Chain A
Amino acid sequence: MSPEIAIVAAIALPLCGAVLIAACHRVPNLREAVTLLTAAALFLTVATLVPGTLAGELPAVRLLEPLPGVAIALRVEPLGLLFALVASLLWIVSSVYSIGYMRGNGEAHQTRFYVCFALALASTMGVAFAGNLLTLFFFYEALTFATYPLVTHHGDAEARQGGRTYLGVLLLTSTVFLFPAVVWTWLAAGTLDFVPGGILAGKLSGTEVTLLLALFMFGIGKAALMPFHRWLPAAMVAPAPVSALLHAVAVVKAGVFAVIKIAVYIFGLGASGASFDWLIYIAGFTILAASIVALRSDNLKRRLAYSTVSQLSYIVLAVAVLAPLSIAAAALHVASHAFGKITLFFAAGAIYTVSGKTEVSQLDGIGRRMPLTMAAFSIGALSLIGIPPAAGFLSKWMMFQGAASAAHWTALAVLAASTLLNAAYFLPIVHAAFLRAPSPGEVPHGEASWTMVTAMAFTAAVTVALPFAIALPLGLARMVAGISP
C-alpha cells in the first residue's frame, strides 16, 4: 500500500466501519466482529507507515480546498504517527473490552455506541495526520461531536448534565479561543501549514505571541488546562470503555497532541521562552491542583479523571519548557500515559461490572476476589507515579532531564511534588485492595468476563514491556524534537 493511500485509508476505514456496523445492527456478533476487524485493519494500515517515516519520508495528501489557499491536507510526521499507532492499537484492545462490558452491563443502544466509537476513531486519525491547522481544527471539532453521543449514552438526567458540561466547555474553548487563533495565525503568517521551526518567526511582536499562545492553549480545551478542565470529570458519566479509550487516550491525547504540534510546528522551538513562561505556571498549577482534587475524590472514575487532568498538564508543562529533550518527553508521555491510564479505567470498569462498586472506599479486599484486575491496576498506577520498570518512568525521567537542562526549577519542583501526590492517591487503593480485609456480608464475585481481563492483561503487559521495546516510540519522539535518533 502506498503511503498516500494508507493515510486516506486511516480515516476512511473507521468511517466505512461505522457504516458497516450500522448495517449489521440486527446481528450483534457480526457487528462486534466488524468493529474488531476494522480496528485491526486500521492498526495494520497505520503500521505500514512506520518504516517510511523512520526513514524520514513525510507523505502528504491534499483532499479539498474549502477556503482559498487553505486545504484539507493530511501529512504523516513522527508525532502524529506515534499518536495514531497508540490510538489504533488501543482501539483493538478496548473493542475486545467493550464487548464484555456492554454485554455484561446489558447496555442499550449498542449499535449507536459502536458506530460513534468508529466515528471518534476516524476523527482521531484525522487529528493525528492533519497536515495544517485548519485540518486539525476540522477533525478536533468532529471528535467533540462524535463523542457527545457516547458521553450521553445513558440518556438520563445525569448524562444530559454531563453532556452539557462536556459540549459546553469544549465548544466554548474551541469557538471563542481556538477559532480566532487560527484565523489570526492565517492573517499573520499567510499559511496554516505545519512547518518544522514554526511559521510565526518574526511575524508577531512578543506580546502578540503571548496572546496568541494563550488563545491556543486555552482554546484547546481537550488538553484540560485549568480552568477549562471540568468537561473531563463530567465525561465520566459515559460507560467505562468510553472513559478508557476516549477520555484517557483519544480525546485528551488529541488535545495535548495539538498542543505539542502547535508549539513545535507553528511557534517553533526557537520561539522566545518569555512568551511560554506563564504556561509553566498554569500547567504546574493544574498538575498540583488536579492531583489534590484526585486525592480527595472517593469516586474511582473521578479520581482517575483528575489524575488525567494532572497528567495532561505534565505534557503541557514539558512543552512550555521548550527544550528539545522535554518535547521528546512530552511526545513519549502521550504513549506511556495512554497505556497506564487505559489499564486503570479498564480495571475500574471491570470492578463496576462484577460488583457495582464505584467508590474507592468500597474497594477493601477486592484484590482477593479480582487478583488479575487489581494486579493490572497496580501496574497502571506504578506507571503513572513513574516507578520503574513501568513505562511512565521513562517519560517522566526525560521530563526531569529536560527541565533541568533548561534550568526551570519551578518545573522541577512541580514534577517532584506531583510524583508524591500521585503516589498518595494511587497507593492507598492498591494497599486497600490487597491488604485490607473485605467488609463482611458482601456478595461474592470473581473476575470479570475473559474479554475484559484479556484487554487489561494486554495493556498492563505493554506498560511493563514498553521500556524494553522503547526504540520505536523513543525514535519517533526524538524526531519530533529534532534530536537525531
Chain B
Amino acid sequence: MIAEHLPALQVVVPLICAPVIVLVRHRGAAWAVATLASWAALAMAIALAVKVSQSGTLSYAIGSWPPPWGIEYRVDALNAFVLVLVSLIGSIVMPYAKVSVAAELPQEQEYLFYALYCLCLSGLLGIAITGDLFNLFVFLEISSLSTYVLIALGRRRQALTAAYQYLVMGTIGATFYVIGIGLLYLMTGTLNMADMAQRLAQVTETRPLIAALAFITVGIGLKLALFPLHQWLPNAYAFAPSVVTAFLAATATKVSVYALIRFNFTVFGGTPLLGEVPFHELLMVVSIAAIVTMSLVALYQDDLKRMLAYSSVAQIGYITLGVSLANPSGLTAAIAHLFNHGITKGALFLLVGTLALRCGDTRLSQLSGIASRMPLTAFGVVLSGLSLIGIPGTAGFITKWYLVRACLENGSWWLAALVVATALIAVGYVWRFVETAYLKAPGPQAPRAGETPPWMLVPAWLLVAACIYFGLETSFNVGYVVEAAKLLLAQGGG
C-alpha cells in the first residue's frame, strides 16, 4: 500500500515536515523532525532505486489523474540516482547541523532554518522526480525561494547581499524557464515530458522550439551555475551558513544539471532540433571555459570557501563537458560526477565549516599549521581533496577515467589533454591548503583550536569515507549510471 505511493511520499514527507516544524517551534524538536524527514527520504529513495533496477521505469499518477492530463511522477535509473544523492547528502548534513546551526544562528531562528531546509529538500527531490514540465518549475521555485532565505541566514552581513544577488539571478532564471515552457506548450499542447517528446517530433515549425530551447537552457544554466552565469555562486557559498553551503553545493547545482540532462535527452532528444543548432558545441565551449578559467581563479583565492566555490563552477564544467560529448562514456562521466563531486564537495564544505567554527576564519592566511591543532579535520580535507583532483582510489578518479575515455572515443585528443591538464590546477589549489596546514608553523595569532566536536566531525568523515569507498566499490556510482546513460541515449533516438 505505502510502497505503491512511494514516489509521492518521497516529496510529500519533507514538505509536510516544514509546517510541522513551524508549529512546533522548539529547536531540538525541529532538528529531530528535519533529521527524521531526511532519513525517511533516503530510505524511500533507496527503495525506489532498488525497485527501478528490478522492474524498470515507474510511473505514478498524482491524484490518480492519468497522464498526460494529470501530473506524472516518473522514476527511471537517472531520477532514482539523483534522489539517492540528494537525500543522502541531506541525511548526512542534518546531524552536522545540530551543532553547526546552534553555533551560527540566533536561537530563535533555528526552527526557521530547519523548516526552510525541509522545504528546500522537498523542492530538490520534486525537481528530480517529476515528469511534468510545469511541476518542475513549481519545485524549482520552492527550492530556490527557500535557498534565498537559507543563504540570508548567514552570520555576516554580506550574506544578505549574496542572497539578494542570487535572488535576482535566480528569478531571471526561473522566468526564462517559464517562457521556454510556455513556448513549448504553445507548440505541443502538453506539459508531460514523455508526451511532449513524442509530439515535438511531429512539430515542423522549429523556430519557436529553438527559442524555447534557448530560454530553458539559459534559465536552468543560471541555476546550475553554468559559466558565465555563475556569478551568484561564489558569494552565496562563501557567506551562507556552513551547513547550507555544504548541502547546496552537493545537491542544488546537481539537481539543476539533472534537469538540463533531462531536457537534452528525454525531451529534445528525439527531435532533429539539437542537430540543427550547434547546441552541444556551444555547451562544450562554455564547459571548457568554465574548467580552465574557474580552476585558475580558484587557484588564487585566499578564502577556502571561495576557493571551493570557484572549484565547484569548474567541476560543473566537467559535468557539462561530459553531457556535451553525448556518447555513452561521456554521459556516464557526467552523471557519475553528479554523485562523485556531490560527496566530495559535501565533505570539503563540511570540513571547512568545522574550520570556520573553530578558527572563526577560513582564509588560508589564517590557517597556518592548523593540521597540528585539528589533525582529523585537516587530514579529511586532504583525502577529499585527492578525490577532487581525481587520484586513483577515490570517487573523482572514476569520473576522470570515463571523461578521458569519452574524449578519446570521440577522437578529441586535445580535449583529453585539457581534462588531465586542468586536474593539475586542482592539485595546485588543494596543495595550497596542504602546505599551509602541514608545512607552516602556527602563527602567533593562530586560534588555539581543538578538534571539532564529533557531531560535526563524524558526518564530515562519513562523506570523506564515501569518497574513498565509491572510488573502489562502484556498483552504484558506475553500474547504476551506465544503465541511466543507456536509457537516455535510447530516448535521444540513438
Contacts and interface: CB of A to CB of B under 8 A. Distances in A.
Interface of A: 64-68, 72, 134, 137-138, 141-142, 145, 149, 152, 155, 159-160, 163-164, 167, 171-172, 175-176, 179-180, 183-184, 186-187
A65 B398 CA distance: 11
Nearest to A184: B408
B386 to A, nearest CB: 7
Interface residues of B, number: 32
Overall SS of chain A's interface: helix
B180 interface: no
Nearest to A211: B413
A96 to B, nearest CB: 28
Interface in B333-352: none
A177 to B, nearest CB: 9
Given A186-B405, A187-B405, A66 B398 contact: yes
A239 to B, nearest CB: 15
B473 A171 contact: no
Given A176-B420, A180-B408, A183-B401, A160 B386 contact: no
Contact of A155 (B386, B404, B438, B478): B438
Contacts of B393: 138, 141-142
A7 to B, nearest CB: 18
Contact of B423 (A134, A160, A175): A175
B439 A159 contact: yes
A180 B404 contact: yes
Given A66-B478, A152-B438, 15 more contacts: A137-B392, A141-B392, A145-B386, A149-B438, A152-B439, A155-B439, A163-B435, A163-B439, A175-B424, A176-B417, A176-B420, A179-B420, A183-B405, A183-B416, A184-B408
A137 B409 CA distance: 21
B70 to A, nearest CB: 39
A187 B392 contact: no
Nearest to A167: B431
B427 interface: yes
16 contacts: A66-B471, A68-B482, A137-B392, A138-B393, A142-B392, A145-B386, A155-B438, A160-B439, A163-B439, A172-B424, A175-B423, A176-B420, A179-B420, A180-B417, A183-B401, A184-B408
B477 to A, nearest CB: 10
Given A66-B398, A67-B478, A138-B392, A187 B424 contact: no
Nearest to A70: B401
A145 B439 contact: no
A175 B419 CA distance: 10
A466 B408 CA distance: 47
B472 A64 contact: yes
Nearest to A67: B401
A254 to B, nearest CB: 14
B474 to A, nearest CB: 5
A164 to B, nearest CB: 8
B313 to A, nearest CB: 21
Nearest to B391: A141
Given A152-B439, A176-B424, A67 B400 contact: no
A64 B439 contact: no
A149 B378 CA distance: 14
B44 to A, nearest CB: 28
A152 B435 CA distance: 10
B479 interface: yes
Contacts of A175: 420-421, 423-424, 427
Contacts of B391: 141, 145
A167 B398 CA distance: 22
Contacts of B431: 164, 167
A179 B435 contact: no
B472 to A, nearest CB: 5
B420 A180 contact: yes
Given A66-B398, A68-B478, A141-B392, A176 B421 contact: yes
